[in-house]
Amino acid sequence: MPLGEFDLIARWFTRPARQAVLGVGDDCALLQPRVGCQWAVSSDMLVEGRHFLSTVDPRRLGHKALAVNLSDLAACGATPVAFTLALALPRVDEGFLSGFAEGMWALADAHGIELVGGDTTAGPLNICITVFGELPAGQALLRSGARAGDELWVSGCLGDARLALEVFRGALALPAADFESVRRAMECPQPRVALGQALRGVATSAIDLSDGLVGDLGHILRRAGVGVRLDWSRLPRSEVLAAQPPALQQQCLLAGGDDYELLFTAPADRHAQVLAAGASVGVPVTHIGAVLAGEGLTIVDARGVAIEPGAWRGFDHFAGEAR
Ligand code: ADP
Ligand code: MG
């Protein structure tokens, strides 16, 4: 290796500690939660070939590795503070490391968070980030909080990342500009951190969409012991996706994965507050269904008629298998 482990850490992954009591360089980092706050902690691992393609731009990979973690903090309504980075690298590739670090630092700086430690080893390319966020004690948004009578909401648009994946898989072709836009959704997701914080005290439950809408919605249903009626025609989709055949739209919207939007519930009498929360952070939010007493998911078409479950029932398993 032209550069040793410690040179590598010093060159790309060390900056002076700001908020942390102690950052990179000792056996542990030291963080001090503010009085009255709790830590929200989450890890996400990205494995080459499973979570990203080997051809991806390293800058986008650096961005995405941190973005998917920040998305988990967003789903809890936490304010990101710090993160650690565990990295297995097949070799010290300076071009890769510079790009990766650039993408990662750009997103870290956009959220004012710092890298406080990690681990670096030789091995098949594998990236594991752990994020630490702060919350006023007891105010985390949880999956279990949904109640019958709540409205179901989602941020942004769904399905573009999956559409891009289908292009990479060779299942369809798109005009260059359309491909570029869905590819950006796949490779550069924007974690909805500000929205998550704005929804504290407004939403009753939240989850970030990483494995597909049907699969992730299932976590809320099971945790909260409720049912949901989902309005297919309300699901927010880009113009590019809306121009695709209905079966492909259904697959991308319901089982897409890699959306990193927030799916959340809120009491119907807070409808205006939810819209205001979205507007305050510049993120569109769409009312897509209703939380019901009882169990299970019903998907209805624009006329309110239930869509045959055979058309989408496999999507939760399918999503689970993909990631
Ligand atoms: P230890 O052997 O005690 O686990 P290491 O020798 O692995 O420590 O790491 C030395 C220091 O560098 C530690 O403070 C560790 O947190 C930090 N570090 C290692 N890898 C990374 C990385 N990829 N990014 C940021 N900090 C790292
Ligand atoms: Mg070590």
Give 94-114 pLDDT, tens digit per residue. 999 999 999 999 999 999 999
Residue identified by tokens 């009578």 is 149
Decide: helix, strand or coil at residue 306.
Answer: strand
- Token pair belonging to 101: 């670090």
In this structure, are 99 and 174 located in the same domain?
A: no
Which of the pair, 251 or 2, is modelled with greater confidence? Answer: 251
* Cα of 127 from ligand 1 centre, angstroms: 14
pLDDT mean over 219-246? 96
Residue closest via CA to ligand 1's atom 5 equals 119
Residue closest via CA to ligand 1's atom 7 equals 119
Give 23-46 pLDDT, tens digit per residue. 888 889 999 989 999 999 999 999
Q: Which of 89, 112, 136 is the last residue of a domain?
A: 136
Q: How much is the pLDDT for 201?
A: 96
Task: Classify residue 309: in a domain, yes or no.
Answer: no
Spell out which residues have Cβ within 5 A of ligand 2, the ion: 119
The CATH number covering residue 154 comes to: 3.90.650.10
Q: Which of 98, 121, 136 is the last residue of a domain?
A: 136
Residue closest via CA to ligand 1's atom 22 equals 118
In this structure, are 270 and 169 located in the same domain?
A: yes
- Compute the distance between CA of residue 127 and CA of residue 87 in angstroms, rounded to an integer: 5
In this structure, are 123 and 46 located in the same domain?
A: yes
- Ligand 1 mutation target, pool 7, 12, 14, 24, most atoms within 8 A of CB: 24
Q: Cα Rg for the chain, rounded, in angstroms? A: 20
- Of the listed ranges 133-137, 203-207, 312-316, the one predicted with least confidence: 312-316
pLDDT mean over 162-172? 95
Task: Classify residue 306: in a domain, yes or no.
Answer: no
Question: Is the separation of the CB atoms in 40 and 73 below 8 Å?
Answer: yes
Within 10 Å of residue 283's Cβ, how many Cβ atoms?
Answer: 18
- Compute the distance between CA of residue 84 and CA of residue 66 in angstroms, rounded to an integer: 10
Torsion sign across C-alpha atoms 199, 205, 210, 212: negative
Which H or E run contains 289? strand 285-292
Task: Classify residue 94: in a domain, yes or no.
Answer: yes
In this structure, are 92 and 232 located in the same domain?
A: no
In this structure, are 200 and 258 located in the same domain?
A: yes
Q: How much is the pLDDT for 317?
A: 53
52 bridge partner residues: 48
pLDDT mean over 248-265? 94
- Compute the distance between CA of residue 133 and CA of residue 55 in angstroms, rounded to an integer: 31
Task: Classify residue 314: in a domain, yes or no.
Answer: no
- Compute the distance between CA of residue 211 and CA of residue 107 in angstroms, rounded to an integer: 22
In this structure, are 34 and 82 located in the same domain?
A: yes
- Compute the distance between CA of residue 270 and CA of residue 278 in angstroms, rounded to an integer: 13
Ligand 1 neighbours, Cβ below 6 Å, are 9, 13, 24-27, 85, 87, 115, 117-120
- Compute the distance between CA of residue 215 and CA of residue 125 in angstroms, rounded to an integer: 28
Encode burial over 24-49: b for 16+ CB neighbours within 10 A, e otherwise: beeeebebeeeeebbebebebebebe
Which of the pair, 304 or 320, is modelled with greater confidence? Answer: 304
In this structure, are 78 and 95 located in the same domain?
A: yes
Asked if residue 55 has pLDDT above 60, the reply is yes
Domain carrying residue 120: 5-136
Indicate the number of domains in the chain: 2
Task: Classify residue 182: in a domain, yes or no.
Answer: yes
- Token pair belonging to 93: 């590739």
- Ligand 1 mutation target, pool 119, 121, 128, 132, most atoms within 8 A of CB: 119
CA torsion 48-50-53-54 (nearest 10°) is: 30
In this structure, are 126 and 206 located in the same domain?
A: no
The CATH number covering residue 122 comes to: 3.30.1330.10
In this structure, are 25 and 52 located in the same domain?
A: yes
Give 259-313 pLDDT, tens digit per residue. 999 999 999 999 999 999 999 999 999 999 999 998 899 999 989 899 887 767 6
Task: Classify residue 149: in a domain, yes or no.
Answer: yes
234 CB-contact burial (10 Å; exposed 0-12 / middle 13-18 / buried 19+): middle
Decide: helix, strand or coil at residue 81.
Answer: strand
Asked if residue 321 has pLDDT above 70, the reply is no
Asked if residue 1 has pLDDT above 50, the reply is no
Asked if residue 319 has pLDDT above 50, the reply is no
pLDDT mean over 193-222? 96
In this structure, are 289 and 153 located in the same domain?
A: yes
In this structure, are 258 and 184 located in the same domain?
A: yes
Within 10 Å of residue 304's Cβ, how many Cβ atoms?
Answer: 9
Which H or E run contains 16? none
